[in-house]
Structures are given as C-alpha cells and as structure tokens.
Amino acid sequence: MYQVKFLKKAVNGLKAIDPIWQNRIKEKIVQLAENPSQLKNRIKPLKGKYSKFLRLRVRNYRIIFLRKENELIILIIRVARRSESY
C-alpha cells in the first residue's frame, strides 16, 4: 500500500470542487493508494516535459500525481477539471 501526500495546490484544488465530486475523487485516491493496478485503465502518463507525472481520470476531473515506487509514495500534484489541469 502506498502512502499518499498532497501538495498545497492539490488540496486547494480539491476544496474548490463540489462536495459530491470531492468524495468520489477521494475514493479513487484511496483506491489508487491501496491497489494502483485496479485503476490501470484510467491512469496514463503525461507527455513532453511532464512525462514523469501520471494522471488519473475521474469523469471530468484529473488527478495529476507522481508515483515514487522505491519509497511507496504517491504525491498528488494537482486536482482539477480537465479543462484546467493541463
């Protein structure tokens, strides 16, 4: 199981989202921490200079994160609508 850490920008982005979607996004983050392979169809790497980051799709929202395999940490970089996240 991974440990999840949030950047301040990600926390602020999550707070700005409707509470119903906040709960759904939090559920996916918990699922990501417990078993990332379960969400493999929803996780894709970003391209270009951000290629070290991954994104998780939750309907119209995107969770941008960095997975540190050797430390078992998932660092949530940003949570935002698709139109605002890239």
Domain ranges of the chain: 3-85
The per-residue pLDDT for range 59-77, each reduced to its tens digit, is 999 999 999 989 999 999 9
pLDDT at 50 over 80: yes
Return the pLDDT at 15: 96
Class of domain 3-85: alpha beta
Provide the whole-model pTM.
0.90
- Position 84 confidence tier, pLDDT thresholds 50, 70, 90: confident
Q: In what order do the strands lie in the sheet with 73-81?
A: 3-6, 73-81, 61-68, 54-58, 43-45
